[in-house]
Each structure stands twice: as structure tokens, then as C-alpha cells.
Amino acid sequence: MVTRYTDDTHVGAQTTPDSHTKRALRWAGPALAFAGLGGSFTQTILIPIQGELPELLGASATSTAWAVTITLLVAAVFTPISGRFGDMFGKRRVSLILIAVLIIGSAVCALSNSVIPLIVGRGLQGVGVGVVAVGIAMVRDILPASRVGSTAAMVSATIGVGAALGLPISAFVAQHFDWHMLFWLSAAISIGTFALVAWALPTESPKTGGKVDWVGIVGMSAGLSGLLLCLSHGREWEWTSVRTMAVLGGSAAVLVLWVWHELRVRQPLVDVRVNTRRAVLLTNLASAAMGMAWFASQVAFPQLLQLPTAVGGVSLSLVEASLVLMPSGLAMLAMAPVAGRLERRSGPKPLLVAAAVLIAIAFCLALTMTMGQWTVLFINVLIGVGIGMGYAAMPTLILQSVPRSETGSANGVNTLMRAVGAAVGAAVVGAVLAIEPAPGAADNRQHVSAAFDETFLFGLVAALLCGLFAAFIPARGPAAVSGTEVPGPSSRGRRFPRSRLIRHRGTAYPTNSPSRTSL
């Protein structure tokens, strides 16, 4: 059988779809979105009981803090690695492995009664978060071009939705059940996700094969780990201490050597040249800036809602504060299909610019309005809508700017940049909100108000930076918003002569084909 190839061909786009293909076309989006929710849910699962962990585990607060930090750290480091492995070995296979690791990590945490097993289990959960980047890349291989943008937006939005919904759910479970139930719940969600993904997705997506860049993996892991450790623990270590400076300097040196290695190896972990293309680089910078803005609100609003009214807070419990913040996550989820339609009509670049402007407006309102629980809810929903729009635009900007063989890796780097931006935002806002009590309630209120104003100003600047980076992304126009790479003039419907076809296991492919698609 001779395969006739066009640039818009994708796995699953058969002339006469079989039952497996029909199932994939119908269920791939929900399955991948559910996988993303399960992975991102783990990031906030321990926050409701973080203060109680030293007593529950018989360990110091410094040791138990690693149970939260290790998940974010491992997730940031392993996400681009997971994306690259998905390109090389098949995205379905890698997704199932990541979900299986998430299940094992959840079970280890659920069975732990001391700090070391809990940290190990939380690290394994961090590995599983990489399923989000792999899922976004898989969308391009499975679905028609008309559905790539909206589905990638939905999967991308789960990064925020899972974290936002995870907090109130975890707070409720921790308040009414033993804390181990948090992880049994995570394990149950992950088992359901594994079954759904295994059933819904096609046998396998295209894969490139090749050798694993172990030197690149070690170099990137070491460099990013040091950088993120400094951002997470810089205030505790003191920013100007010898330890902080040494780790930060060592990380920078390792990352420079890593880039040098990646530019010279034949099959790099991350294709630096692809990721420094103007469109990809500016999208990643915008992603980091949006991560900073988002985490400014994620750190500030929970504190503001729980502070006593005497110092300008709202005096809500953790569960009540979580319920006030939850609509923001629902807004992100609701915006995914809407943003997909807007993206098809206007293109991903205008959508990203509009998202940055909306987030900037929200922080302007936070700077000028009196902050009560309803005000926080309204402003946080605006930020959630903006984040949902931005996270909808970014995957398409990446997908249409990189080769098909690099989609997993490129989306992994984009997700990593969000994590780096979030870490920077958390570090800056955490330092600003480390308010020393002042004598007298009036003085306390003044100090608290100034600290939150500085936090909202930081969020505003980050949102404006995001909009600035987005404005300079090369425009492709609505016609290019298909979720597929547009390397040159379209070859839609063009038939290749036999002289330009190569054969592989009885199936013919065009000699210049960027991917092999068997019909």
C-alpha cells in the first residue's frame, strides 16, 4: 500500500477510521486532560497539613519542608526529559510509564510514617507531572488540525486547574480523615487515569528513536536543581550567604557547559537551536513571566485571606480561603474551549497579548481596591481567565514553530519555563511578604498593606513583561493556527511521484517527510 503524504497528515486521520481511531478522536482530549489534572493535583496536596508534618512525622520543619519542595523540583527537571523521551520512544508509552510512577509515588507516600519515605514518594510524584508536557505534544499526533489548539489548551490549563482545585479538596480531606487518605486519593485518581489513557489513546504515536543523551540529562538536572534550590531556599539560607552564592554560581557554570554540550551532540536532549528561534524563545520568556505573575497571586491571596482583620486580612480558615480561590481554577478550565475558538479566529499571538493585558488589569484592581473576600474572588477569577487564555495560546505557538520530532521536548522546555517563572515569583513574593510584626495594630496594618502593594506591583510588572514578549513574537495569522508546523508552502493534497517515495516495511513515505504516517 502506498501512503500519500501531506504536511497536515496526523496519526488517526485515516480515510476510513477504524474503531480504535474513532475512540482516540473522541476520548483523547478528555483522557489527556484528566492525566494532566492528576499530575498537577499532587503539587498542592500537602499544603493544608504542611504545618502539622513535623509533629505527624517526628521530624524538623526543615526536613518536612522538602516533602513539598522535592515535588516541584523533580517536576521542573523531569518535564523536558519526559518530553524528549516521548519524542524518542513514543508518547503513549512514556505517558503510561509516568502515570505508573505517579501511582507508585502516591502509594509510597500513603504507606509512609517517617520523613524519608515521604520525600522519596513525593519525588516520584514529581516525575509523574511530566505527563502534562507529553500530553500536549501527543495532541498534535492524534487529532485533526482544527482541534489541536483547543485540546492543547485544555491539557495545558490543567497545570493551573489541578493545583487550584487540589487545595480545597486536600484541605477537606485533611480536616475529616487521616492525612494518609490524601495519597490514597491521589493513587486512586492516577489508577483511573492510567486505565483511561491506555483505553482511549491509539497504539502508539510517531517516534524518532535514537540514543539517549545521558550527559545532557545529568548536566541539565544538576544545573536546574541548583538554580531551583536557590530560588526555593534562598531566604532560608540568606541570599548573600556563601552557600547560596556557591550553589548559584555552580549551577550557572553547569548550565553553560550543558548548553555547550547540547550544541555539539548529534542527538541532544534539548535542541538549543530550535529553542532559540525567535518565536520559541519569546514564547518561553512570556511563559516564565506569566508564571511569575500567576504565582504572585497564588502566594499572596491565600495569605491575605487568612490574615486577621486587625492587620488588614480577611480572617478566613484554610478551607474557607481555598473555596474563595477555587473559582479561579474553574475559570481556567472553562476558558480552554473558549480560548481555543478565539485562537482559531485571531491566532495565538493576539490571544497571549490579551491574556497578559487582562492579568495586568487584575493586578491594577488589586492595587486600587479594598481587598475583601469577594474582591479577592473577582480579581483572582480575572487572573484565572487570563492564565487560561495564555496557557491556551502557548502550546500552539510552540507546536507551530518546531519540527514534529521536537514537539515533546519543546513543550517540556516551555513547561519548565513556567516552573522557573513560578519559582522566581514564589521566591520574590515570599521575601516581600515575610513581614516582621511591628508594635501596634495600626503599624502592623500599614506594614501588611505596603507588603501586599509591592506584591501586586510585582505581579503587574510580570504581566506587562509577558505582554511585551508576546507582542514581538512573529505573527503567523489565523490561517497558521492549526497546531502543525508550517515549514514552507503548503502541500495539502499533493501526491508524490513514486520516484520520491521510500519504502519501510511495505509502506511508502515521501523522502522529505518530517514524520512517517501510515494510513
pLDDT score for 6: 35
Selection from 199-208, 246-255, 316-325 with the highest mean pLDDT: 246-255
Opening angle at CA 414, ends 412 and 418, nearest 5: 115
| 256-271 residue pLDDT tens | 999 999 888 888 888 8
Mean of the per-residue pLDDT values of the chain? 78
Q: Is the pLDDT of residue 382 over 90?
A: yes
Same-domain status, 258 and 393: no
| pLDDT at 108 (0 to 100) | 94
Cα angle: 165, vertex 290, 234; to 5 degrees: 85
Same structural domain for residues 308 and 432? yes
- Is 80 in the same domain as 174? yes
Same domain, 163 and 47: yes
- pLDDT tens by residue, 82-93: 888 888 888 888
Q: Number of folded domains in the chain? A: 2
Indicate whether 223 and 205 sit together in one domain.
no
60 or 380, which is more confident: 380
The per-residue pLDDT for range 393-449, each reduced to its tens digit, is 888 888 888 877 777 778 788 888 888 888 788 778 877 876 555 555 556 677 788
Instruction: Indicate if 94 and 129 belong to the same structural domain.
Output: yes
CATH number, domain containing residue 148: 1.20.1250.20
* Same domain (yes/no): 208, 309: yes
325 shares a domain with 251: no
Residue 311 lies in a domain: yes
Residue 291 has pLDDT above 80, yes or no: yes
Instruction: State the CB neighbour count (10 A cutoff) for residue 214.
Output: 9
Neighbours of 177 (CB within 10 A): 12
The reply to whether 500 falls in a domain is no
Do residues 359 and 222 both lie within one domain? no
Q: Is residue 8 part of a domain?
A: no
C-alpha cell at 11: 496519526
- At 492 the pLDDT is 35
Grade residue 14 by pLDDT with cuts at 50, 70 and 90: very low
> What digits encode the pLDDT tens for the residues 334-377?
887 787 778 778 888 999 999 999 999 999 999 998 888 899 99
Q: What is the DSSP string of 442-461?
A: HHHHHHHHHHHHHHHHHHHH
- Here the cell at position 345 is 479566529
> Does residue 240 lie in a domain region?
yes
Average pLDDT over residues 307-316: 81
Task: Tell me, yes or no, whether 122 and 254 share the same domain.
Answer: no
For the chain, percent of residues with pLDDT exceeding 90: 21
Q: pLDDT > 70: what percent of the chain?
A: 83
Place of cell 480531606: 173
pLDDT of residue 457: 93
158-186 mean pLDDT? 80
User: Which of 191 and 371 is assigned the larger pLDDT?
Assistant: 191
pLDDT digits (tens, 9 = 90+) for 442-467: 566 777 888 888 899 999 999 999 99
Confidence at residue 296, expressed as pLDDT on a 0 to 100 scale: 86
Residues spanned by the domain of 246: 214-266
Same domain, 202 and 228: no
Assess if residue 366 is contained within a domain. Answer: yes
Q: Is residue 497 part of a domain?
A: no
Based on the domain organization, do 127 and 241 belong to the same domain? no
pTM of the model: 0.76
Residue 14 belongs to a domain: no
Helix (H, G, I), strand (E, B) or coil at 508: strand
pLDDT band at 118 (very low <50, low <70, confident <90, very high): very high
Q: Is residue 131, in this structure, part of any structural domain at all?
A: yes
pLDDT reported for residue 9 = 40
Range with the largest mean pLDDT of 55-69, 365-379, 503-517: 365-379
Predicted local confidence at residue 456, as pLDDT? 93
Distances in Å between the alpha carbon of 213 and those of 84, 111, 439, 483?
A: 10, 35, 57, 27
Q: How far is the C-alpha of 320 from the C-alpha of 333, rounded, in Å?
A: 21
- Grid cell at residue 431: 521575601
The string of pLDDT tens digits covering residues 467-510 is: 999 999 987 644 343 434 444 333 333 343 444 433 433 334 34
Q: Tell which wins on pLDDT, 10 or 195.
A: 195
